[in-house]
Chain A
Amino acid sequence: MIVFAIRRAVLGVLVLVAVALMVFVAIRLIPGDIVNQQLAEAGAVTPELLQEKRAAMGLDKPIAEQFLVWAGGIVSGDLGHSLWTGRPVSAQIGAALLPTLQLSIMAIALGALFGIGAGVLAALWRGTAGDMVLRMLSTVFLAIPQLWLGLLTLTGLALIGYYIPLPYRSFATDPWANFQQVIFPALALSLGVAAALSRLTRSAMLEVTGADFIRAARARGVSSSGLYLGHALKNALIPVITLLGTQFGNLLSGTVIIERIFNVPGLGNLLFEAVAYRDYTVIQAAVLTYGLITIIVNLMVDLSYGLVDPRIREARS
């Protein structure tokens, strides 16, 4: 198990290096670099001035050298400074990380709850009107983009006269305001996840409930809830957990736009602005953080298989 975790961690670091390299190059390929952006408002811009500015930021050096300098800083724990404000990037990321984590964990938890719950119910109600309704809902929410669902939620709330309190409060300072600010974006994010999960849970449950061991458990007097929520669900959970992991990636990318819509000062919001301003150091650090979260989540998913299925646990030890 420990060897397995270490192997996965090494793999994770390699993935992070690849992510860093890609975002570093990609952001520099976008036309209009930071110097252009900064001097866009200025009147007379001479090529000398541009050159001077670039040199000051180290952007005149070859890209490989720039990357090595930046990567060296990261290895020693220095994410650099914002090219616009000069503030340390690590402080910005640190402040933005918590709202994003809170939002995405709430969203994935709600998504898992709704999705697995709806899937189990649909399997239990197979062929009835309830099953049809749940399946239709899942198709609908699978088809609606998170962005539109977010806007719809916001508009819908306004229509019934409810306004989410502003500005953003952290959970520590004002839990109730924070809850209201996070629950709606979390819901908007969770429905897509729930839709995908419920379809898979339903089919996995149906497959498992036809198995011999379910009939045998019924024969020894196991109650309905024990059959479905104990034996069937635990066996059906493995493909569901896999999907939960990949859905988390989707959900994380969804937070960028959802945080923007709901004014949550998280990583997504930070990244959105940094891209607009071509604040290279901030963009790189934010993307790297997203990568790190994704890798950690995938590692957790892999480890959790063993909790559900003893055969996987053994194969690894």
Chain B
Amino acid sequence: MTAMASNALPRANTESGTSPVALSVEGMAVTYSGLLEVCSDVSIDVRRGEALALIGESGSGKSVTVLAVTGLLGRGGAIVRGSVKLDGEEISHLSERERRRRGLLGKRIGMIFQNPSRALDPVFTIGQQLNEALSLTGLKGKVELRAKGAEWLRHVGLPDPEEALDCYPHQLSGGQRQRAMIAIALASEPALLIADEPTTALDVTIQAQVLNLIRRLQKELNLALVLVTHDFGVVAAMADRVAVMYGGQVVETGSVDEIIRTPRHPYTQALLASIPTGEAGARIQALPGSVPHAGAMPRGCRFHPRCPAALPLCQDSAPALQPAADGRVMRCLRADDLERHDA
């Protein structure tokens, strides 16, 4: 895998090849109330300084995956199989208290949410919420907290950081709120940053600014970044590697270059084909149907009912996520066929 990948994206890969793995998820399954399996087999790796995009349709399990990693699944949600390791430390079965004690909430994993208007507490000032994160670093004292808080807000590009500290969320614009949210997520100096569709709720004009900011900070601070998105444009701009998810499973991983230029898995191909090209009159190839409900997953390959390349075999045997002959990692019974077809 490395041989081919390094040809495609030499810089990013030599970098990630040497730096240690920050987050490693293997075969993780998540259920709610022990019944509904919303994630069945998720395996991802992210190194320090590397950005991994997690892409898929709504209901593919990408948000649940990151919530499971951060321990924010909520009532009834639990990791039932597989492992989640942060810097080599197994964290999949920790209680909230234990997570807090080990600094997994905030201090080592920072999280940016989809909608900054709802993720910021409306009745607390930005400064107060920033202080909660700052205090995790051991910083004390009103003056020190204020100075550091203003520094962070300046760092994320808020025009008037001192004033913004005393603002309530509703007094800021949507883009400013997301910048403040990013500052709060990073203020506790985590090594892993998780961004769950950080620009979906923002105006198109603001989206690029916020994405650039996240990318810049990720590089500056040498963060491991997991970015959840359903937008290949975001993937191309932001990520080093991609994991494509379908029906609660990772179905293909690879470098951004590989996935976007030569998608191999039929689902990845269908996703890419459904992107509007921007050419007038060009038809978009829609992928018919939708992700099956977690309670009604088909037997065999989960994608086979919608798959253009499905064989009778796909209805019965479930493929595993494994390296194909050319080093691409994918979950498909026809992986080797498709590769030959590709070449």
Residue of B113, B123, B188 touching A216 (CB-CB under 8 A): B113
A220 touches B121 (CB 8 A): no
Q: Can you name the residue of chain B whose Cβ is closest to the Cβ of A238?
A: B123
Q: A221-B100, A224-B96, A235-B121 are in contact. List 6 more A-B contacts (CB 8 A).
A: A216-B111, A216-B119, A219-B110, A219-B111, A221-B133, A309-B123
A311 touches B170 (CB 8 A): yes
Q: Which of A128-136, A145-153, A207-215, A253-261 contacts B (4 or more CB under 8 A)?
A: A207-215
Residue of A214, A215, A226 touching B132 (CB-CB under 8 A): A226
B105 touches A218 (CB 8 A): yes
Q: Please give, as numbers and ranges, the residues of chain A lying within 8 Å of B168 by CB-CB distance.
A: 310-311
Asked if B74 is an interface residue, CB under 8 A from chain A, the answer is yes
Asked if A53 is an interface residue, CB under 8 A from chain B, the answer is no
Using a CB–CB cutoff of 8 Å, the interface residues on chain A facing chain B are: 211-224, 226, 230-231, 234-235, 308-311
* Cα–Cα distance between A91 and B103 once the two chains are bound (Å): 65
Known: A231-B124, A309-B123, A310-B170. A220 touches B184 (CB 8 A): yes
Q: Please give, as numbers and ranges, the residues of chain B lying within 8 Å of A308 by CB-CB distance.
A: 123
- Which of under 10, 10 to 19, 20 to 34, or 35 or more describes the interface residues of B? 20 to 34
Within 8 A of A (CB), among B163-202: 168, 170, 181, 184-185, 188
The majority secondary structure among interface residues of chain A is helix
* Cα–Cα distance between A213 and B74 once the two chains are bound (Å): 13
Q: Please give, as numbers and ranges, the residues of chain B lying within 8 Å of A214 by CB-CB distance.
A: 121
- Interchain nearest-CB distance for B160 vs A (Å): 18
* Cα–Cα distance between A285 and B118 once the two chains are bound (Å): 51
Q: Can you name the residue of chain A whose Cβ is closest to the Cβ of B187?
A: A220
* Cα–Cα distance between A231 and B118 once the two chains are bound (Å): 13
Q: Please give, as numbers and ranges, the residues of chain B lying within 8 Å of A219 by CB-CB distance.
A: 70, 72, 105-106, 109-111, 113, 185
A220 touches B110 (CB 8 A): yes
Q: Can you name the residue of chain B whose Cβ is closest to the Cβ of A223?
A: B100
Q: Please give, as numbers and ranges, the residues of chain A lying within 8 Å of B113 by CB-CB distance.
A: 212, 215-216, 219
Residue among B74, B115, B123, B124 with the highest chain A CB neighbour number at 10 A: B123
* Cα–Cα distance between A211 and B120 once the two chains are bound (Å): 10
* Cα–Cα distance between A234 and B128 once the two chains are bound (Å): 14
Q: Please give, as numbers and ranges, the residues of chain B lying within 8 Å of A218 by CB-CB distance.
A: 72, 96, 105
A213 touches B111 (CB 8 A): no
Please, what's the 1-or-0 string for B22-45, where 1 marks a CB less than 8 Å from any CB in chain A? 000000000000000000000000
A235 touches B122 (CB 8 A): yes
Within 8 A of A (CB), among B102-138: 103, 105-107, 109-111, 113, 115, 118-124, 129, 132-133, 136
* Cα–Cα distance between A217 and B226 once the two chains are bound (Å): 19
Residue of B124, B132, B170 touching A221 (CB-CB under 8 A): B132
- Interchain nearest-CB distance for A62 vs B (Å): 56
A212 touches B105 (CB 8 A): no
Q: Can you name the residue of chain B whose Cβ is closest to the Cβ of A232?
A: B121
Q: Please give, as numbers and ranges, the residues of chain B lying within 8 Å of A215 by CB-CB distance.
A: 72, 74, 113, 119
Q: Can you name the residue of chain B whose Cβ is closest to the Cβ of A211?
A: B118
B106 touches A221 (CB 8 A): yes
Known: A212-B113, A222-B132, A311-B168. A217 touches B185 (CB 8 A): no
B119 touches A213 (CB 8 A): yes
